[in-house]
Structure 1
Amino acid sequence: MTALAGTGQLTRLALRRDRFLLPAWLLVLSVLPAGVANAYEQLYPTAAMREPLAATVGANPALAVLLGPAFDLSTPGGFTAWRLLGFHAVIAGLMVIFTVTRHTRAEEETARHELLASGVIGRYAPLTAAVLVATGASALAGLLATTLLLATGLAAAGALAYGAALTGSGLVFTGVAAIAAQLVAFARTSNGIATSVLGASFLLRGLGDASDEASWLSWLSPIGWAQRLRPFADERWWVLALSVVASLVTLAVGYLLLGRRDAGAGFLPERLGRAHATPSLRGPFALAWRLHRGSLIGWSIGVAISGAAFGAIALGIGDLIGDNPTMREMFVRMGGSAMVIDAFLAQIAEMFGMIGAFYGVQAALRARGEEVVTRVEPLLATAVTRLRFMTSHLVFALVGAAIVLAAAGLGAGIAHGLRAGDVAGNASAMIGATLVHFPAIWLVVGVAAVLYGFTPRWTSSAWAVAAVVVVLALFGPVLNLAPLLIDVSPFSHVPRLPAVDVEVAPLAWLTVLAAALLAAGLAAFRRRDIG
């Protein structure tokens, strides 16, 4: 038996398991670029309307932090690459990270790997199968994006560069996920390490694009490499070699670590726990806090730092936009107010609200993770009831999301307040602007609770639901989608503070719907079989 025996069978198994999840990822990655390119033609139909974009949008460091450098905004392709490529690189990274972890470390954690390894399965077959699936998904995402961009009539070289940049990002983070899967013994921690690297890459890219003096930071980021391939703006094909080399190096390290650890264990030694539980662990809520505290602290620190970075550049955005009516109208549409700075802050708050939704889904799905690894049955064999078990995780999904939102608002408010001369006022305003998204997050968590209660096998679909509502709210206005379709997203009903006044009615309806979904999920969980 060779070290790669069974790779083909495991690859087919992984494709079958992901037959619904991967197409959802690919749909988001491939369709949006063509939609934005078509919307550009409608928003800026003449050369006279496109000419001010370079002087306003292109010279704006605030937007450079969010979206990356604007190399050429005079064409639909250049505008699309600036508007989407950075976010698409992040989405591609998430896709491959979750895919690799799902078919490697998660299989070992649930002991399914041992069952497969008892057959004709080589040592490196599971990792190779996961890498093949992730690499194929990255390549297919790039191919589909290229094809659809060509279908809109854009230049072939630019469309190919866009697809290559998307694929290159996927390849790099496939290697990152392969390393993370070898370091620790739990899939959740592995995902946390890999996504932290992804978040650090986005932050490095943003800080590097904020000023010319720090531009070298962008060259340390795989996301920065994707944008500096410069699709539709005098492409630099040699940059693609950075992604290829980085992916090969990270994959080599991943395989090296795999060969030097025991099956089921991580390369890093686990810290031994206490022989007896402390009094603080004598209840389900205390156990839930122990399970959630690491990710909650990590998310809170990450969004606080990101919020501070965005808040620090908010004050200068009005001067950079100037009196250009086109740009002011765009910010009005994105932020809901004619006050450009408030509109920018409102957009930042909305972005963190959407990030909070992903934290809420992650925390809510922790209950399913405990069930899959058979840690729930011994717990329920004690005096702990099903209602207390599930509620303990939902509390941290809801309250934890509020803490994450408050941390983001505090970071942005303090940084903006230090420059504006009113720290207390701006901090409280930004905390309110982020926390107002709480009912929308409740609704997304409620959907996750319903899926877990009624159809536990499809619980992971909550990620797809969160992605869909975020995409509809974030890109729906830009793509000129039907208002009825945009309204499907709960985030489209949240007032965009601090740019507008609070509207109680939509928040109340979102809260009622979320409460109904949470109650339905709890009721269904009490009646279904465990496992």
Structure 2
Amino acid sequence: MSTFAGTGALLRLAWRRDRWVVTSAVLAMAAMAYAAMAATLDLYPSDAEAAAGARLMAATPSVAALYGPLPSLTAAGVGVLKTIMMGSLFAAFLAFALVRRHTRTEEEEGRLELVGGGVVGRRAPLAAAVSLAVLSVLATGALSALALLPTGVDPVGSVALGVTIVVAGLVMTGITAVAVQLTTTTRGAGGVALAVLGLAFVVRAGADTSESGQDLVYASFLGWAERVSPFGDNRLWMVLPALAVTAALLVAADVLLQRRDLGAGLWASRPGPARAGARLGSPFGLAWRLHRGALLGWTIAYAVLGSVVGSLAASVSDIASSPGMEQMLRKMSGGQGSVLDAFFGTELRFLAVGVAAYGITTALRLHSEEDAGRAEVVLATRVTRWSWLASHVTIAMGGALWLLFVGGLSAGAAAGAVSPTGVGELLPAALATAPAVLVCVGLTVALFGLLPRWTPAAWGLLAAFLLLGEFGALLELPDWALGLSPFDHLGSLPGGDANPTGLAVLLVLAAAVTALGAVTFRRRDLAT
């Protein structure tokens, strides 16, 4: 029997399980690329009008740290700036999630051993997972490139954007394929792969903001992606080193696969203490033990990200000097206050979407614990369903509030050093986005209780909210469409007024959908 026997069948199975998630993710990325470009071209109909703002963006270190260097001083270059890094990170996360889910997760939960009892070769599961990830990344790049064509931009630049996305996704596929061979757990593999991704972002950001270390950008695969420079130099050949490194990583993953046993990793698991601590005797203590590492990582990331956003305060008045840019910021933030207030309102809402992603990830642990059978073991004791559910939901919602606090505090401290806006304005503005974040977490809990198999669809809801919140007003969508996003009911902070009615409705909605998830979970059977 060939060691690749069954690859096709496993690929079809993986696609059958993830077809809706992959399809919605790919379409969301393509829609985001189109919306960003269309909104920018509406703001800057000509390159001459875009040149002044583009020069200021190119000269702002904080912008380079977040998004990389501006590809060119053109309207298309400005329109693709955010999409370059966001698209690269999006493709990397998608590839990471697919490879890990269909290799290490399947192995940890015992399904891979069951499948391996059939006509399935040793290499087939990894080959199927990698194939699905590669195809998904290629589809994301192709559709994102095609999505730009209706805007009338240069087709070569559109293809270059697709190449940017493919470069990051391919390399992350190889990195994850190696990571899943090293550890014995899904969380461990995720920690290794995401640590490499985080390091790549930090190296790229450092190189882009340093005059003497520009060549260091090539030490990061995200740097390779940005160096494609869509609508600038259009270096399509940058896909070649990405292909070479991906191939080398996949060969390394295959070698490591042959050197370990099923269910094991190359790195031995660290044995725990002989007796558990007293804190693990409660549902909340166990949930905290499971989530504390992720919350620590998010806290560090938001402290850094908030500081970067706050430091942009010194350049906002110059970047938004054109009436069109000011109008765009006011549309996205609610429209009140100074230009600086409008800028921070826009960025804080974007940060709130990231916090919602943390909340969804944490709440989804309920689904993974049940799916793996660990929830059944816990609930076989005196632990009630309500207390088990409440422990994870409390950390999801409490952790989200904590991240909003950290982001607002760090942004306010950094902004206060270079502008009149400081902690007193930005911290309340960040916390005011909490009701919308809690709605996202509550919807995840509701899906878990009502339709457990569809719980990952919470990511699709968040993607829709992001598109409506980031680009809905710019594309002049009707009010009823904008109102579908909870982030549209927050008011206008800083600089303006909160929306007490909207915030109250969001809090009631968050409580209602969370309660709905709790009640339906208590009344349904566990997935076994």
- Amino acid paired to 1:383: R
- Amino acid paired to 1:283: S
The answer on 1:18 being equivalent to 2:18 is: yes
State the shift of 1:198 in Å. 2.8
The answer on 1:427 being equivalent to 2:426 is: no
Note if contact 2:104-2:180 (Cα within 8 Å) is conserved in structure 1.
Answer: yes
The answer on 1:331 being equivalent to 2:337 is: no
1:43 corresponding residue in structure 2 = 43
Distance, in Å, in 2 between the alignment partners of 1:275 and 1:322 is: 60
1:287 corresponding residue in structure 2 = 286
State the shift of 1:436 in Å. 1.7
1:492 corresponding residue in structure 2 = 488
- Residue aligned with 2:264, SS: coil
Written as runs of structure 1 = structure 2, the 5 A alignment for 1:68-467 is 68-76=68-76, 78-311=77-310, 313-318=311-316, 320-321=318-319, 323-335=321-333, 336-419=335-418, 426-467=422-463
State the shift of 1:490 in Å. 0.9
- Residue aligned with 1:154, SS: coil
- Residue aligned with 1:144, SS: helix
- Residue aligned with 1:346, SS: helix
Distance, in Å, in 2 between the alignment partners of 1:67 and 1:496 is: 25
Note if contact 1:36-1:478 (Cα within 8 Å) is conserved in structure 2.
Answer: no
Provide Cα deviations, 1:117-159, integer angstroms capped at 9, x if missing partner: 1122222111111000110111122222233333443323222
Note if contact 1:99-1:134 (Cα within 8 Å) is conserved in structure 2.
Answer: yes
Distance, in Å, in 2 between the alignment partners of 1:441 and 1:465 is: 12
Provide Cα deviations, 1:57-90, integer angstroms capped at 9, x if missing partner: 44333333333322224343x3332231211111
Alignment root-mean-square deviation, CA = 2.3
- Mean alpha-carbon deviation: is it higher for 262-271 or for 283-292? 262-271
Distance, in Å, in 2 between the alignment partners of 1:414 and 1:265 is: 46
- Amino acid paired to 1:434: A
Note if contact 2:53-2:321 (Cα within 8 Å) is conserved in structure 1.
Answer: no
Note if contact 1:328-1:338 (Cα within 8 Å) is conserved in structure 2.
Answer: no
- Mean alpha-carbon deviation: is it higher for 333-342 or for 452-461? 333-342
Provide Cα deviations, 1:262-315, integer angstroms capped at 9, x if missing partner: 21122222111223322222111111111111111121122212222332x223
- Residue aligned with 2:313, SS: coil
- Amino acid paired to 2:390: T
- Residue aligned with 2:19, SS: coil
Note if contact 1:317-1:340 (Cα within 8 Å) is conserved in structure 2.
Answer: no
- Amino acid paired to 1:489: S
| Alpha-carbon spacing, 1:250–1:492, altered in 2? closer, same or farther (3 Å) | farther
1:5 corresponding residue in structure 2 = 5
State the shift of 1:430 in Å. 3.1
| Alpha-carbon spacing, 1:321–1:146, altered in 2? closer, same or farther (3 Å) | closer
- Residue aligned with 1:19, SS: helix
- Residue aligned with 1:85, SS: helix
| Alpha-carbon spacing, 1:97–1:167, altered in 2? closer, same or farther (3 Å) | same
2:520 to 514, 519, 524: 524
- Residue aligned with 1:171, SS: helix
State the shift of 1:442 in Å. 0.8
TM-score, structure 2 length as denominator?
0.93
- Residue aligned with 1:459, SS: helix
Distance, in Å, in 1 between the alignment partners of 2:249 and 2:83 is: 26
State the shift of 1:374 in Å. 0.9
- Amino acid paired to 2:133: A
State the shift of 1:428 in Å. 4.7
- Mean alpha-carbon deviation: is it higher for 457-466 or for 207-216? 207-216
Q: Mind listing any 5+ residue stretches in structure 1 that lack a counterpart?
A: none
| Alpha-carbon spacing, 1:173–1:530, altered in 2? closer, same or farther (3 Å) | same
- Mean alpha-carbon deviation: is it higher for 493-502 or for 228-237? 493-502
Q: Identity over aligned residues, as a percent?
A: 38
Provide Cα deviations, 1:18-68, integer angstroms capped at 9, x if missing partner: 121111111012233233333344322345533433333443333333333
Distance, in Å, in 2 between the alignment partners of 1:253 and 1:317 is: 46
Distance, in Å, in 1 between the alignment partners of 2:180 and 2:474 is: 38
State the shift of 1:211 in Å. 4.8
Distance, in Å, in 2 between the alignment partners of 1:237 and 1:118 is: 44
Instruction: Give the total of aligned pairs.
Output: 526
State the shift of 1:402 in Å. 1.2
- Amino acid paired to 1:317: S
| Alpha-carbon spacing, 1:496–1:101, altered in 2? closer, same or farther (3 Å) | farther
- Amino acid paired to 2:314: G
Note if contact 1:331-1:340 (Cα within 8 Å) is conserved in structure 2.
Answer: yes
Q: Mind listing any 5+ residue stretches in structure 2 that lack a counterpart?
A: none
| Alpha-carbon spacing, 1:214–1:478, altered in 2? closer, same or farther (3 Å) | farther
Distance, in Å, in 2 between the alignment partners of 1:364 and 1:483 is: 30
State the shift of 1:418 in Å. 4.2
Note if contact 1:89-1:226 (Cα within 8 Å) is conserved in structure 2.
Answer: yes
Distance, in Å, in 2 between the alignment partners of 1:418 and 1:491 is: 29
- Residue aligned with 1:348, SS: helix
- Mean alpha-carbon deviation: is it higher for 322-331 or for 459-468? 322-331
Distance, in Å, in 1 between the alignment partners of 2:188 and 2:436 is: 27
Note if contact 1:208-1:217 (Cα within 8 Å) is conserved in structure 2.
Answer: yes
Note if contact 1:350-1:496 (Cα within 8 Å) is conserved in structure 2.
Answer: no
Distance, in Å, in 2 between the alignment partners of 1:478 and 1:68 is: 23
State the shift of 1:261 in Å. 2.1
